[in-house]
Chain A
Amino acid sequence: MTGVEQSIGERVALWLRQLGVMTLKEFPQLVRDRPVFAYIVFIFTLDIIIAAGQSVELNNAKVVINDADQSMASRELTYRFRAPYFDVAETNLHPDIALSWLDRGQATLLIDIPPNFSESLYRGDEVATVQMLVDTSNANIGFLAASYGSRIAAELGTQFTAQRTASVTALPRIDNQRRVRFNADINESWFSSISELLAVITVACIFLPAVAMVREKERGTVEQLLVSPLSPFQVMFAKVLAMMTVMLIGTAFSLFVIMQPLFDVPARGSLALFFALTALYAFATAGIGMLAATFARNTAQLGMLLMLIVFPIILLSGLWVQLESMPTWLRQVMNLTPLRYFIDIAYGILLRGVDIAIIWDSVLKMTAIGIVLFGVALWRFRRQFGG
Chain B
Amino acid sequence: MKLRRALVVAQKEVSEIVRDRIYCALAFLLPVVLMLVFGYGLTQEVQNIPLVIVDNDRSAQSRDYANRFIESRYFEFKGYVSSVRAAEPLLLDGDVRAVIVLPALFQERLVSGLPVDIQTFVDGTFTYRLRTIDGYLQAINQAVSGELQSQYLARTTGVSNERAQQALQPLRVETRYLYNQELREIWSIAPALIMFVLTLTAPLLMALSVVREKETGTIYNIYASTITRAEYLAGKLLPNVIVSFINGILLVLIAVWYFGAPLKGDVLFFLVAMFVYVVWATSLGLLISVIVRTQMAATMVTVVLVMVFVMQFSGMMIPVSSMTGANNAIAHSIAAMYFNDVVTHTFLKSGGLEASWREFVALILLMTSFVSFGFLLFHKRSKS
Contacts and interface: CB of A to CB of B under 8 A. Distances in A.
B331 to A, nearest CB: 12
Nearest to A134: B177
Interface in B134-188: 134-135, 137-138, 141, 144-145, 148-149, 152-153, 156-157, 166-181, 183-185, 187-188
B50 interface: yes
Interface in A49-88: 50, 54, 56-57, 59-62, 87
A191 B125 contact: yes
B7 to A, nearest CB: 23
Indicate the member of B42, B114, B131, B175 with the most A CB atoms within 10 Å.
B175
Interface stretch (A149-157, A248-256, A280-288): A149-157
A138 to B, nearest CB: 5
Contacts of B93: 348, 354, 358-359
Contacts of A304: 23, 26-27, 30, 204
A297 B295 CA distance: 13
B300 interface: yes
Tell me which of B119, B216, B318 has the highest count of chain A C-beta atoms within 10 A of its own C-beta.
B318
A138 B109 CA distance: 44
24 contacts: A43-B304, A59-B318, A129-B173, A136-B188, A137-B178, A146-B175, A157-B171, A161-B168, A169-B113, A173-B148, A177-B119, A180-B124, A181-B91, A181-B122, A186-B124, A186-B130, A187-B127, A218-B216, A304-B23, A308-B26, A311-B34, A315-B37, A324-B48, A352-B125
Interface stretch (A34-42, A221-229, A236-244, A367-375): A34-42
Contacts of A181: 91, 121-124
Given A36-B297, A179-B122, A326 B183 contact: no
Given A35-B300, A39-B301, A178-B120, 15 more contacts: A39-B297, A57-B131, A107-B321, A124-B167, A169-B113, A173-B145, A184-B124, A299-B212, A301-B26, A303-B299, A306-B299, A315-B37, A324-B48, A326-B44, A348-B94
Contacts of A258: none
Contacts of A150: 173, 175
Nearest to A353: B92
A270 interface: no
Interface string B186-222: 0111000000000000001000110010011000000
Nearest to B322: A60
B212 A106 contact: no
Contact of A307 (B111, B121, B167, B299): B299
B89 A358 contact: yes
A186 B132 CA distance: 13
Contact of B47 (A35, A143, A324): A324
A147 interface: yes
Interface residues of B, number: 120
Contacts of A232: none
A172 B296 contact: no
Contact of B149 (A35, A173, A211, A322): A173
Interface of A: 33, 35-36, 39, 42-43, 47, 50, 54, 56-57, 59-62, 87, 102-108, 120-121, 124, 126-143, 146-147, 149-150, 153-154, 156-158, 160-161, 165, 168-184, 186-188, 190-192, 203, 207-208, 211, 215, 218, 296-301, 303-308, 311-312, 315-316, 320-322, 324-326, 344, 347-348, 351-352, 354, 358-359
Interface string B2-24: 00000000000000000010110
B292 interface: yes
Contact of A35 (B131, B301, B341, B348): B301
